Amino acid sequence: MKDYKRITLLSIILLWLTTSCNNSETSLLSPIATQNRTPSQIQLTEIGDFGIERKARPGIPAHLHTGIDIKRPGNNYIHEPIFPIATGTIISKRKDGPYAQLILEHKLERDSFWTLYEHIAEILVEVGQTVEPNTEIARYFNKEELDLYGWQFDHFHFEILKSAPSPIPPNSKTPERYFISNTLNCHDMEELTSHFYDPLIFLSSKE
Ligand SMILES: [Zn+2]
């Protein structure tokens, strides 16, 4: 076979491979164990919607809600698992109490986006680890943890970031917390939508 023909054939195979890989990555799953993991099954807490105004409270300034608060999908108060919505890499982790958090980096077609999970427990993954949509990464708080932290945390907070999270120096209390998002910094819709997607709209657009 002539060289240029071989190269053309190789290019076609590569293009086909790239396209089929991208296709499998474009569908996103719900982060909770609902039927078939379809995003339409996600239910929010009463004040859990994206963009809702949060009044100032001790230690926390007033802000717009930068994510969604996802209801526990059933009555499993022992071990209700949480999953990634797509293949990704763990880039930040904190394990301290009610603010325990994971941040994942994802590549979708040519774009990157990031997901943040907060108010989670029993984190099962390490920073640098690649995770698949069926990798269990953490779970909802169990009954004992809710008794300890407060039942207002009977959900987990989920964000989808448009812009890269900001690097922060880890400290001794949170040695693997390498990034933060603008969770408390959005005060109007312009700030909110410049940093975040509405997770339910983003998920359903890729369903
Ligand atoms: Zn929240």
In a domain, 195, yes or no: yes
In a domain, 128, yes or no: yes
Lowest mean per-residue pLDDT among 30-34, 47-51, 108-112 = 108-112
In a domain, 66, yes or no: yes
Identify the pLDDT of residue 108.
Answer: 81
In a domain, 91, yes or no: yes
In a domain, 116, yes or no: yes
Enter the pTM of the model. Answer: 0.86
Identify the pLDDT of residue 110.
Answer: 82
Give distance in angstroms: CA of 1 to centre of ligand 1.
Answer: 60
Q: Work out the end-to-end distance of the chain between its first and last CA atoms, rounded to an integer number of angstroms.
A: 43
Cα dihedral 73→189→197→15 (10° resolution): 160
CATH code for position 137: 2.70.70.10
In a domain, 19, yes or no: no
> Residues 40-98: pLDDT tens digits?
999 999 999 999 999 998 888 899 999 999 999 999 999 999 999 999 999 999 999 99
Contacts of 87 (CB under 8 A, 6+ apart): 25, 106, 130, 131, 132, 133
Give distance in angstroms: CA of 65 to centre of ligand 1.
Answer: 6
> Residues 122-173: pLDDT tens digits?
999 999 999 999 999 999 999 999 999 999 999 999 999 999 999 999 899 9
Give distance in angstroms: CA of 67 to centre of ligand 1.
Answer: 6
| Location of structure tokens 């797509």 | 86
Contacts of 79 (CB under 8 A, 6+ apart): 122, 139, 142
Task: Map residue 141 onto helix, strand or coil.
Answer: coil
Of 34 and 8, the structure prediction assigns the larger pLDDT to 34
Amino acid at 143: K
Identify the pLDDT of residue 24.
Answer: 47
Q: How many structural domains is the chain composed of?
A: 1
Task: Map residue 163 onto helix, strand or coil.
Answer: coil
Q: For ligand 1, a single-atom ion, which residues have Cβ within 5 Å?
A: 69, 157
**Mean pLDDT along residues 18-33:** 69
In a domain, 14, yes or no: no
- pLDDT of 18 > 80? The answer is no
- Could you give the CA distance from residue 164 to residue 44 in angstroms, rounded to a whole number? 25
Which structural domain, as residue segments, surrounds residue 123?
29-205
In a domain, 11, yes or no: no
